[in-house]
């Protein structure tokens, strides 16, 4: 039997009637998660060269740890003769990690500057198996689809005609104003309008 809870979740309960106490337990919280299986998704950026750094962002990932590793790999170290940093990095996250994934990409763009960005959205399938904590060998399987985001940051130019492309941001705003928008009126001279 399958029960549809909402548009993106499907609940499969083997041989259980709708009035069964097992179904009532799902609402009471009498189940524990025993298995979580994410479907493998393909890379949304075909033709990437080998050696591209892929950062898989999870809900519990610490931004400081992610950025420390990614920044060290992307920046060149002048002490290493002949060693240069990587040219591209892909940040990928799904579900509750989508906002953290976007944050990591924005931090890297701000710190390195001049990075081309390509963003792709997709859905990822997830299957969770829950087991009853009370008597019986009852098992519940939940199928869900989660939103997923992949952000490619590149030092090399990307195809501007590709959907999801963002050119490098102009760094003049921060240099000119020191990062403070309130200084605009004070530092720029006002133009006079002359009518003849």
Query: Contact, 12 vs 130, CB < 8 A?
Result: no
Domains present along the chain, CATH in parentheses: 31-42+49-73+86-166 (3.30.110.20)
Q: Which two tokens stand for residue 20?
A: 């069964």
The predicted-structure confidence for 121-159, as pLDDT tens digits, reads as follows 999 999 999 888 877 778 889 999 999 999 999 999 999
| Residue 120 burial class via C-beta count within 10 angstroms: exposed 0-12, middle 13-18, buried 19 and up | middle
Report residue 167's pLDDT band, with 50, 70 and 90 as the boundaries.
Answer: very high
According to the model, what pLDDT value does residue 23 have? Answer: 42
70-108 pLDDT tens trace: 999 988 655 555 556 789 999 999 999 999 999 999 999
């Amino acid at each position: 039997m399958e029960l549809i809870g909402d548009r993106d979740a499907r609940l499969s309960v083997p041989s259980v009637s709708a009035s069964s106490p097992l179904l009532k337990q799902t609402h009471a919280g009498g189940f524990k998660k025993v298995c979580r299986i994410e479907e493998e998704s393909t890379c949304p950026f075909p033709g990437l060269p080998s050696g591209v750094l892929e950062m898989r962002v999870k809900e519990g990932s610490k931004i400081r740890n992610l950025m420390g590793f990614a920044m060290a790999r992307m920046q060149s170290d002048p002490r290493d003769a002949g060693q240069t940093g990587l040219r591209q990095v892909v940040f990928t996250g799904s579900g509750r990690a989508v906002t953290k994934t976007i944050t990591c990409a924005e931090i890297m763009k701000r710190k390195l500057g001049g990075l081309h960005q390509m963003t792709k959205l997709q859905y990822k399938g997830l299957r969770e198996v829950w087991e009853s904590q009370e008597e019986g060998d009852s098992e519940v399987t939940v199928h869900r689809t989660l939103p997923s985001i992949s952000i490619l940051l590149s030092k090399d130019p990307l195809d501007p005609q590709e959907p999801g492309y963002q050119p490098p941001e102009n760094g003049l705003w921060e240099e000119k104003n020191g990062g403070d928008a309130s200084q605009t009126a004070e530092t720029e001279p006002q133009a006079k309008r002359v009518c003849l």
